[in-house]
Amino acid sequence: MPNMNAITQETPTPLEERPGYARLQKLWARGCDFLGVKFAILGGAMTWVSERHLISAISNAGGFGVLASGSMSPDLLRAEIAATQALTSQPFGVNLITLHPQLLDLVAVCAEKKVSHIVLAGGLPPGDAIARIKAAGAKVICFAPALVIAKKLVRSGVDALVIEGSEAGGHIGPVSLNVLAQEILPHVREVPIFVAGGLARGEAIAAFLEMGAAGVQLGTRFVCASESIAHPNFKQAFIRAAAREAVPSVQVDPRFPVIPVRALRNAASDKFMAVQREVIAQFETGELSKEEAQLKIEHFWAGALRRAVVDGNIEEGSLMAGQSVGMVTKIQPTADIIAELVEQAVAYLER
């Protein structure tokens, strides 16, 4: 006779058999098809962080890793792409900076290594770079900070767009993702659009997909992945931080513009304010020309990101982080992060 006091537990329905999963797959089908992946989740290209280990981990987990080339030479980029290809057979992309003096050489390296997708960042992409990428059979992805630029990029032949809000880490624009998504998603349908900036949970991912996004891009969420080579001190700074601590760099004087960068406030960011005031005083007394003063301000952060990410000097380095840093609470495998995001999106769509 069965024990009536026994507690029986129903076997949970496998994720892929749940109705919310089917809905999710339908919502980001365009993005998945474009990238050639299971989940339309791009890893944001973060200098010193988005290298072979993290990129391959994201791609192997069903997402789409994006290698940050930064200031790499063509030979260094060639070696890094080859090393990444040795760690994954899945698709991944390469992020190239449009202002790099050897941009076309880097494009040639990507073509040589048969990179399927190239992300052009740091300004409007040159037409010859777009043409050469497409001639090599690769897809071009560009950033669109406004509707007028999004339409211009589509006309220039780019294959997909990323719209990134000011909540993101690193170099940022002035407008939040919430506003950009409303401005751009309803009016640009010709190419897939991926949204970025402040994303760290699956519910938000699903909501933007419902608005018309083809997929998402996340950077800060992957910094504390087990596979990330970021220094333990850098990771712990992220785990301890709250959203309000990720703030844009402050410009003291409009005569000396500062490119806004969102990072965790530390001793270096406080010192940067003091250095700006000191340099401006030297300019006003005639000790420095305007060009010399501007250069001195710009050189303050030279090497600062490497000091933090690689060396672990979190007081004198730059702790670039998005406002989603407050939702980064532990170190975990990349596959677990992606599985968590998908589960949250599925649960949201089932509610």
Instruction: Examine the domain organization and report whether 211 and 315 are in the same domain.
Output: no
What domain range is 256 assigned to? 242-320
Alpha carbons 196 and 262: distance in angstroms, whole number:
14
Do residues 335 and 314 share a domain?
Answer: no
> Is the same domain home to 271 and 191?
no
Residues 102 and 171 in one domain: yes
Q: 316 lies in a domain?
A: yes
Residue 2 has pLDDT above 80, yes or no: no
Which of 234, 240, 264 lies closest to 170, judged by CA?
264
Q: What is the pLDDT of residue 11?
A: 83
Place 10 in a pLDDT band, splitting at 50, 70 and 90.
confident
- What is the per-residue pLDDT for 45? 96
Co-location of 285 and 338 in the same domain: no
Decide if 9 is inside a domain.
Answer: no
Q: Please tell me whether residues 216 and 312 are part of one structural domain.
A: no
Residue-wise pLDDT tens digits, 67-112: 999 999 999 999 999 999 999 999 999 999 999 999 999 999 999 9
Using one digit for the tens of pLDDT, what is the confidence trace for 261-271? 999 999 999 99
What percentage of the chain exceeds 70 in pLDDT?
97
pLDDT of residue 123: 87
The model's pTM is 0.94
Contact indicator for 305, 317 with CB cutoff of 8 Å:
yes
In a domain, residue 1? The reply is: no
Number of domains in the chain: 2
299-311 tens-digit pLDDT? 999 899 999 999 9
Q: 133 and 161: one domain?
A: yes
Question: Is 64:338 a contact under the CB 8 Å cutoff?
Answer: no
Do 175 and 216 have their domain in common?
yes
Q: Report yes or no on 233 lying in a domain.
A: no
Average pLDDT over residues 276-292: 95
Does residue 2 sit within a domain?
no
Do 210 and 148 sit in the same domain of this protein? yes
- For 58, residues 6+ apart whose C-beta sits below 8 A from its C-beta are 41, 43, 64, 65, 92, 222, 334, 338
Same domain, 191 and 106: yes
Q: Are residues 212 and 255 in the same domain?
A: no
Element spanning 75, H or E: helix 74-85
188 shares its domain with 45: yes
